Structure 1
């Protein structure tokens, strides 16, 4: 060996753990760098696993969202899933024909339900993915899950009213109890629904007052805009002839049903049922008409006007007025002077 020849140093080697690991050994064979090979698990394997978890979560979320969107699109067809059908369509004895339900109303309700389902799916899928990623980073998930459970119980007790409102709102949407534009009776608040949310329903009453009602506080709902409506009018006829008054009222009701402006609102021809009750002022005759929900107010007002006009033109109104005039006896102690008596 010449004095100018360098002594070769030791060749780079890796530990036994790296030799037993296929990835570590392969990286060492490729690059020949021990520290890179021994760190390959954290440099290459861990990031790839995390990326794979995120990719799988996004694929699952996309697939479920696509299924929900397809489910929502089918709501405009006749074959609607049972869960998206209004409650009245699921009842075999329901009076309203399911085919008469407006598709636009069903579409809006399905869009709202679909939005809630998509938000819930996104939260659940990414929450599970986040836990898996933390597990890959060697976080101890047991205390975290236990703390989350305790926090969930505490939040549940503290926000049970909020949870009640949201659950009630979800079932309200599923059952299609009411929607925007419906006229409803929610107890103290009676008016037109302006907004429907998972927690709050907004109603504008007849005086313009805007009511905010929590869904969990709604005990009963009277919807005046779903399906059909009934117009009921009781007209007093005094002690006039019932047959004559019935004929006059029936002719007026049939004339209204033939009016081209309102004929489309009648589902059945109006009918005069007859004497509904007898009072001290005479008989009350009831007239009924089955109409569409949106046409009920117009039909109600016009039917009352025409029935009143018909009674007046037939002279029955004058008979009612005269029937209310009766002689008043003379006041005692006037020595037979009856001029102080008279009609009342």
Structure 2
């Protein structure tokens, strides 16, 4: 007589019933480890492990693809293919005059710096978002309730938002300044309280050095308007005071001829984009008449051109005896020649 043993009953401390299912994780784990505890929880452990591993792999793959796309975008920006997205292609082409010591146009260096900064910020944002989503999905797989966690995170985020609203405003302002290319390193700007050369552009702080050498650290969120003297082109403005007794037409013709001759000389010829324009009498006051001459020049070179034209025209006025306003020691005005023998 053949006796058939009863099927195993899953009782604490005994072999779990699932080991009889040869195709289950329970039977496989029990066969490999001979552990009743591991076999009893095999489906849960292995299933969750596979789900969590899948989430992690997908998150890593998505982050890698996103970083690769950002890197390609930065590469396109440095080669001029991304400028249309920020709407500055035409202005950047105008600013690509001259070059640095390595022969690279300054506009390319400007685009390279801005693109690298934006790319770094985008990569950080992508990594943070992917990490947050992956952690939440893993916690959901492990059975943790996300409702209280999200509610707590919302309250914490609201508190941080109120406490760090100035920091958030500085960050957003810095992002828009970079995207819109309002200014860059090396530009001469007027941001209200500080006027000088931009030495560094960050997401929170812009560093400016003024003409006296003072370094100003300006928060991006506090910059309400920007006057950039280094984008596209600049204008050299030369004001020439002459006395009321001077022949305005003759002085204007002499100033224009001298400015044209001086602009053709090698030291400033490369900086002048258009020939000097004589605007004539710009202002008439009790001290005399002011003639004005303007010239379109390369960005940041307006002061050098102004000094050169001022010096040349002053010498020409002196040589031709054009009378100009003068002050007696007591402060009274008198029209006379600037050259005294």
Q: Contact 2:18–2:40 at 8 Å: present in 1 too?
A: no
Show the counterpart of 1:35: 37
Give the CA deviation at 1:24.
2.5
Q: CA RMSD in A?
A: 2.9
Alpha-carbon offset, residue 189 of structure 1: 0.8
Structure 1: which 5+ residue stretches go unaligned?
Answer: 1-7, 327-344
Distance 2:296 2:169 in 1: 38
Deviation at 1:260, TM superposition (A): 1.1
Mapped contact 2:78–2:115 kept (Cα < 8 A):
no
Task: State which of 4, 15, 18 in structure 1 corresponds to 2:17.
Answer: 15
How does 1:306-325 map onto structure 2 within 5 Å?
Answer: 306-317=312-323, 324=334
TM-score with structure 2 setting the length: 0.83
2:309 paired with 1:267: no
Instruction: Work out whether 1:159 is the aligned partner of 2:164.
Output: yes
Give the Cα separation in 2 of the matches to 1:304 and 1:292. Answer: 18
| CA–CA distance in structure 2, aligned partners of residues 272 and 280 of structure 1 | 22
Is 1:290 matched with 2:303? no
Deviation at 1:13, TM superposition (A): 4.3
**Take 1:158 and 1:118, find their aligned partners in 2: how far apart are those partners?**
26
SS of the aligned residue for 1:192 comes to strand
Per mean C-alpha deviation after superposition, the further-off stretch among 13-22 and 245-254 is: 13-22
Of 120, 129, 132, the residue aligned with 2:125 is 120
Give 1 or 2 for the bigger CA radius of gyration: 1
Q: 1:42, CA displacement in angstroms?
A: 4.8
Match of 2:251 in 1: 245
Name the residue aligned to 1:335. Answer: none
- 2:226 is aligned with 1:221: yes
Matches within 5 A, 1:1-344: 13-15=15-17, 22-28=24-30, 33-80=35-82, 82-86=84-88, 89=89, 96=91, 98=93, 100-101=95-96, 102-238=107-243, 239-317=245-323, 324=334
Distance 2:215 2:65 in 1: 41
Distance 1:45 1:81, change over 3 A: farther
Alpha-carbon separation, structure 2, partners of 1:284 and 1:304: 13
Whether contact under 8 Å (2:241, 2:324) holds in the other structure is no
Q: Distance in 2 between matches of 1:18 and 1:273?
A: 102
Q: Distance in 1 between matches of 2:20 and 2:202?
A: 58
2:295 is paired with a residue whose SS is: strand
Q: Shift of residue 213 of structure 1?
A: 1.2
Structure 2: where are the runs of 5+ without partners? 9-13, 97-106, 337-341
Task: Spell out, residue by residue over 1:225-282, the C-alpha distance to the aligned partner (whole angstroms, 9 max, x if none).
Answer: 1110011111112121122212211121011211112111011001212111222233
Whether the aligned pair in 1 keeps the contact of 2:241 and 2:325 (CA below 8 Å) is no
The Cα of 1:136 is off from its aligned counterpart by 2.3
Deviates more, 1:71-80 or 1:155-164: 71-80
Task: Measure, in 2, the Cα distance between the counterparts of 1:115 and 1:251.
Answer: 53
Over residues 35-74 of structure 1, what are the superposed CA-to-partner deviations in whole Å (9 max), with x where a residue is unaligned?
3321223543333332222221111001000001101111
* Distance in 1 separating the partners of 2:270 and 2:94: 18
The SS at the match of 2:152 is: helix
